[in-house]
A and B are shown apart, each in its own frame.
Chain A
Amino acid sequence: MQLRVAERVGRLRWIFLPLGLCALTAVGAHAAADVVGDRVLWCVDRVSAFFDAVFASWSVTAPLVDLVGLSQRSFFARALALAWELSADALIAIPLLGYDERDGKTELRTARALLRKTPTPLRLVRPLATVLVAIAGACSVARMVQGSVQLTLHASLLSHFAAACALFALLLVFVPRAGFRALEHADQKGHLVATGVFGTLVLAPMMLAALYASPLVSFFR
């Protein structure tokens, strides 16, 4: 009986695995973009101060200083964070929808072969970013599980356990798959230099932010 249920659910894997992987990475990208909001605001301040100084030098462009008034700084910082997150989604989360499951051994063998190919920044940046962002996503999901269990059932031990289980399972079952699919996808797309440069510009800071948004240890305290 139990096996039959598992089998029926198993037949739907082709749909829920890619969706889950994509959602996990998108959640991670949001957590990463969110956690460095202060730094984004700092960047916007620097850029805006620079442009204000430039624009204000000529009477024709002076109104532009007012256009982006002082109060709009945080609006722009947030818009920038949103654009950054969406670019990261397009680069690493959307391709995961193309995940096509094979048995574990084949996936491992393919991944190894792909890793042995000449490593170009393109081939490395995207898979690495995918894995780091997926880890940040796993932390975000685990945090949500813990908060919901704690505030619904009021059981601290249970909520800790549920969060640790969710995190562990995601790290074991979903994160490697995301990494594999990213490797495969980067290999197919590996020759486009323009997207590669853009991707690196978007994803390099995203990787740092993702590390910052992954308090792995805190779930096992």
Chain B
Amino acid sequence: MRRLAPIELLLAALCLWAGWYHTPAGALVRTAGAWIFRTHSTARPLLAYYGAGVYQPHAAPPPLLTAPVPPAQALGYGAWATAEHLGTPAALSARIKALAARLDGVDEAAMLALFCGEEPARYALTRAQDEDGSPRLEDLARALPPRSADCIAQASQALAQAGAYALAWPLPESIRITSPFGMREHPVLGIRRLHAGVDLGTAVGTPVRATAAGVVRRASSDGVNGRILVLDHGRGVTTMYCHNDELLVQDGEHVRRGQVISYSGNTGRSSGPHLHYQLDLGGQAVDPLRYRAGHPRISSAGAAD
């Protein structure tokens, strides 16, 4: 038994090494160590260790768009918004397409390859396929060693932003925006706070369309948001539709892009008939207009919430 001691020591060391990177205690020790020795810590905030650590909050707002985004180049735009220095959206789009062609056509792997290198992406893809996992970014990320944490976070941010660039609009574009995203005085409560989405002033009963394919995460009703729908589009992209008059889909249902999911209304805490449309990337509300070039007709008069 004693002869096995070196092997046991090695195994214990491996466990501690894994614990260092993959437990809250490890993250705390790393943070505390960095603080004591005044060095740079590689530890992320504790909550960033879930979802395989792929969704990092507080992304910088993307650069302003000068022209509409061609749907086929959304991935390139996502990469460009995350790391502008890598090249133009068109060039990045072509690079991602070429990478995807070599990586079994998996866009997640291609984006990972762009930021982490092709070999790690290829390895992660093989590993995820061995585990019978769908090659989501989380599954790919789990296969890579801790030193890839930064480039994984970049790839996930790029994918989320690409998802945002690929979104359609829930109502006809001619419908004016009655209250934009940002800090403002609340029209009903009268206090200053962040308006986490955009308000589209439209008559009760206007068909609302899903801005991308996804799954209904929540179809519920309350006195503040009214009849509300939350759609999860994967890759950290979520859209919300509040104050509807009638919901046409149920919890857990899969919806297509452009499918009519509800009729807009005036339910909940609202000053008049409108749709509150909100876009979340990695659990953070962002301005959906940032991802659309030259969206017409913003006017601040009209119904809002």
Contacts and interface: CB of A to CB of B under 8 A. Distances in A.
Interface of A: 3, 5-7, 9-10, 12-13, 16-17, 19-21, 23-24, 26-27, 29-31, 33-34, 37, 41-42, 45, 49, 52-53, 55-57, 62, 65-66, 69-75, 77-79, 81-82, 85-86, 89, 103-104, 137, 140-141, 143-148, 150-151, 154, 166, 169-170, 173-174, 215, 218, 221
Interface residues of B, number: 64
Top 9 closest pairs, chain A to chain B, by CB: A20-B12, A56-B223, A74-B283, A23-B19, A10-B5, A49-B220, A56-B222, A52-B222, A23-B15
Contact of B3 (A6, A49, A55, A82): A6
Given A26-B23, A27-B23, A62-B223, A16 B18 contact: no
B52 interface: yes
A150 B14 CA distance: 16
Contacts of B55: 74
B240 interface: yes
B52 A34 contact: yes
Given A16-B9, A71-B283, A75-B283, A151 B24 contact: no
A147 B143 contact: yes
B280 interface: yes
B278 A70 contact: yes
Interface stretch (B63-71, B95-103, B119-127, B255-263): B119-127
Given A6-B3, A9-B6, A34-B50, A53 B12 contact: no
Given A20-B16, A73-B283, A218-B131, 9 more contacts: A34-B51, A37-B51, A45-B218, A49-B222, A53-B221, A137-B18, A143-B127, A147-B143, A173-B8
A71 to B, nearest CB: 5
A27 to B, nearest CB: 5
A108 B281 CA distance: 52
Contacts of A74: 55, 280, 282-283
Interface of B: 1-9, 11-19, 21-25, 46-47, 49-52, 55, 119-120, 123, 127, 130-132, 138, 142-146, 148, 196, 217-218, 220-225, 228, 230, 240, 268-269, 278, 280, 282-285
A144 B14 CA distance: 9
Nearest to A36: B50
A147 B7 contact: no
B142 A143 contact: yes
A206 B246 CA distance: 39
A23 B24 contact: no
B197 to A, nearest CB: 9
Given A20-B16, A37-B51, A174-B11, A55 B222 contact: yes
A69 B218 CA distance: 13
A57 B278 CA distance: 23
A145 B11 CA distance: 11
Nearest to B284: A71
Contacts of B283: 71-75
Given A34-B50, A147-B145, A5 B6 contact: yes
A56 B221 CA distance: 9
A86 B46 CA distance: 12
B145 A140 contact: no
A30 to B, nearest CB: 5
B203 to A, nearest CB: 24
B144 A147 contact: yes
Contacts of A73: 230, 283
A155 to B, nearest CB: 11
B22 A140 contact: yes
B224 A151 contact: no
A154 B144 CA distance: 13
Contacts of A19: 12, 15-16
Nearest to B6: A9
B16 A23 contact: yes
Contacts of B19: 23-24, 26-27
Given A9-B5, A34-B49, A144 B18 contact: yes
Nearest to A54: B222
B289 to A, nearest CB: 17
Of the candidates B4, B18, B145, the one having the most CB atoms from chain A within 10 angstroms of its own CB is: B18
A70 B285 CA distance: 9
Contacts of A34: 49-52
Of the candidates B1, B6, B50, B55, the one having the most CB atoms from chain A within 10 angstroms of its own CB is: B50
Contacts of B230: 45, 70, 73
B145 A151 contact: yes
A20 B14 CA distance: 8
12 contacts: A7-B5, A16-B13, A23-B18, A30-B23, A41-B217, A42-B217, A70-B225, A141-B15, A143-B142, A174-B15, A215-B130, A221-B130
